[in-house]
Each structure stands twice: as structure tokens, then as C-alpha cells.
Amino acid sequence: MILAFALFKYFPFGGLQRDFLRIALECQKRGHEIRVYTTSWLGDKPEGFDIQILSAQGSSNHRRMLSFQRQVQANYRQNPGDVLIGFNKMAGLDVYYASDTCFKEKALNDRSWLYRLTSRCRYYTALEESVFSPRYNSLILTLTQHQKDTFQTLYGTQAERFVMLPPGIDRNTKIHERENIRSHYRDKLGIPENNSVLLLVASSFKTKGLDRAIDALASLPQPLLKQTKLVIAGNDDPKPYEARADKLGCSQNIQFLGARKDIHELMMMSDLLIHPAYTESAGMVLLEAITCGLPVLTTDICGYAPYITEAKAGLVASSPFNQATFNQLTADMLTSDNRKDWINNGIQFAQVNDLYSQHSKAAEVIINYARKDKTAA
């Protein structure tokens, strides 16, 4: 069968992009042809993928997204496959992988009525409605119960259209080397053993709350600040955040590493994953951290935050977000006697719970959908 995947942009370090690639590779491994519609592809191209680069036109992101939708539909009509899977919201999908939070919820709760009158809001709401409205029948792969509840509340989507997926992180095969890796990486990055390391991993510094993390760092009591580093792994523009840190007097305590492939090793080097996200449909990085024995401090807006609470592997800041409260939680976690418990609880939780099978499960659902559709036809 030909399985066609659509995502607006591919780059190696985005969460959505990583999920797409792992699902597509799993489908290919099961003997199916993979076609990809996208506007750009950065990084290595998997052998055997038919990657079609479409030229999205428009003066704004939402207009380019609409242009991409039209081109995907036109190309797919001209050269049909057995199933069309979308990783961005758009009309005409057979299967949608719900990696994003609900746009309509944010527009209603976090934006003004004036924003809701803009063309951007109208277009993105229409794209979302073209997936979730009861008038359509796309199968929806969701990552968390909160996602499902939100979309059903706001759109009245039929319950039978949702399939809940387990998380899909990589297993940490080096946890037994944790102490050696910690020493090696600290030496490599010039971080003394007696320093505490806050780690933030993000492809978008804005949405993952790097500003909040810098504010929390700057708020630490001076003796603690002197022995604390904030290490940031991710391919985004550091300049606004370097300026913020400089203004707050903590620029010497921050290291930007850029995009990295050795995230597990960085996690095993660190003392706390700090993830004060503004928006996060799931947050695989939270689960990756606990498999590495890294306690987590995050916000309850993250879809996978309940796992941290259930595992007793860190703390979750409740909404509405309060910077002063988050600052105090950061200081408390860096000095807490519970650190060993958080470490051990997270490792044990990851050993006895399924945090790993999302991509094989998604591939199975997609292939079965295509087969049933073909049989019905």
C-alpha cells in the first residue's frame, strides 16, 4: 500500500517531526510505500521515501498553511494513495496525528475578542474544524485524555473517532553508565561536579518557557546561584534570551549548546529538567528525563505532566502560572532531600510502564485503517 504523510515542515529535532519519521519508518518496515508532502526537508532523507516538496505561497503563516493544504489535496487527487495521514490540521485527511494543542481553546481562553476577529484566527480555526467537526470522519490519534476531552467539548467530535496512543520515547540503554556519563559530560562542558545543572530542551524557546527558566535561575539565592548552571539544548535564536539573562545578571550561569543528538547523556549529566512550557500537547522530554534519572519541574499545561505526578519523579506547577511560585519550586528542588527518591522513582516507573510503543501502535492503526478502507471500497 501507499501511505501518504503530510507535514508542513520537516527538521530533525522537532517533536512532531520525530514522531512523524518514526511512524513512517515503522510503516515502511512493515512493507508499505511512503510518500511525504512537505514544504521543506532539512536533514537526511530516508532511503525509499518519496518526498515531494511543495511550494506554499502566501504572505503569512496561515495563508501558507492554506496553500499547502490545497497543494496536498491537488497532488493526492492526481496520484491517490491508500491513506492520507496529516501531522498538521487540514481538510481531507483520513488520519490526523494530534501533536498540537487545541487552537480554539487557546483563542477563547488566552486571547482577546479582537484577536478572534483576525484572519489568522479564523483560518486556523477553520483548519482545526475541518478535522474535528462531526461533519467529517478523520480518524484522530491523540496523545492524552486532556486533548480528547478538549476537542470533544469544543467541536462535539464523535468519541469513536479517537484512538489514544501510549507515549513513544526511546528506551535509555545507558542508565547503568549514569555516573560515568555525568562526570565525563561535566568535564567536557567545564561544569564543576559541585555545581547544580538545570537542563532545558526545546526546539522553540518561546513556547517551552525559556524566559521563565531564566527568571527562575536569576531569582535563586546568591550562594545557590553561584553554583547553578542553566544548560539549553535546542536550535533556536538565543540572542533575546542572552539579553534577558544579561539584564538579570545571570548570563555567566547559562550555556547554549544548540541542537544536540546526545540528549540522554545531557540528562544524565544534569540535576533538574526545567520545562515551564506555555503550551505542550504532550511533552516527551518529560518522560525521557525520568528514564535518565533526572527529576522534572514542569507546568500542568503539558499533556504528560500527570506522569510526573504519578511517578513521584518531580513537581508540577499548577495553572494559572505564577513566576514567583515557580521560582520557589526551582530553589526547593535544587536543595531538597527528596532528590534521590525522585531519581529512583522515575527510573523504576519507566521500567514497569509502557512509555515506548506509540509509534508501532500508530503504524498498526494507520495500516489497519487503510486495509479496512480498501476492503470497504
Count other Cβ atoms within 10 Å, centred on residue 125. 17
Strand arrangement, sheet containing 196-201: 254-258, 228-233, 196-201, 272-275, 296-299, 314-317
Average pLDDT over residues 189-208: 96
Report the first-to-last Cα separation within the chain, whole angstroms: 14
- Checking if the pLDDT of 376 tops 80, the result is no
Predicted pLDDT of residue 117: 87
pTM of the model: 0.89
- Checking if the pLDDT of 43 tops 80, the result is yes
Catalogue the E-assigned strands of the chain: 2-6, 33-38, 50-53, 83-86, 95-97, 139-142, 162-164, 196-201, 228-233, 254-258, 272-275, 296-299, 314-317
Numbered ranges of CATH 3.40.50.2000 in the chain: 2-166+357-376, 175-352
Question: What residues pair up with 164 in beta bridges, in sequence order?
Answer: 142
Average pLDDT over residues 119-123: 92
Parallel, antiparallel, or unpaired: how do β-strands 83-86 and 196-201 relate?
Answer: unpaired
Query: What DSSP string describes 21-43?
Result: HHHHHHHHHTT-EEEEEES-B-S
Predicted pLDDT of residue 185: 97
Looking at domain 2-166+357-376, its CATH class is alpha beta
More confident residue, 146 or 6: 6
With vertex at residue 257, the alpha carbon angle to CA 299 and CA 38, rounded to the nearest 5 degrees, is 75
- Are 181 and 174 in contact by the 8 Å Cβ rule? The answer is yes
Domain 175-352 has CATH 3.40.50.2000: yes
Count other Cβ atoms within 10 Å, centred on residue 54. 18
Tens of pLDDT, residue by residue over 94-105, are 999 998 889 999
Indicate the average pLDDT of the chain. 95
- Are 93 and 138 in contact by the 8 Å Cβ rule? The answer is yes
Average pLDDT over residues 188-196: 96
Long-range CB contacts (< 8 A, 24+ apart) of 372-375? 373/82, 373/83, 373/94, 374/1, 374/82
DSSP, res 143:
S
- Are 10 and 42 in contact by the 8 Å Cβ rule? The answer is yes
More confident residue, 23 or 111: 23
Parallel, antiparallel, or unpaired: how do β-strands 296-299 and 272-275 relate?
Answer: parallel
Tens of pLDDT, residue by residue over 320-331, are 999 999 999 999
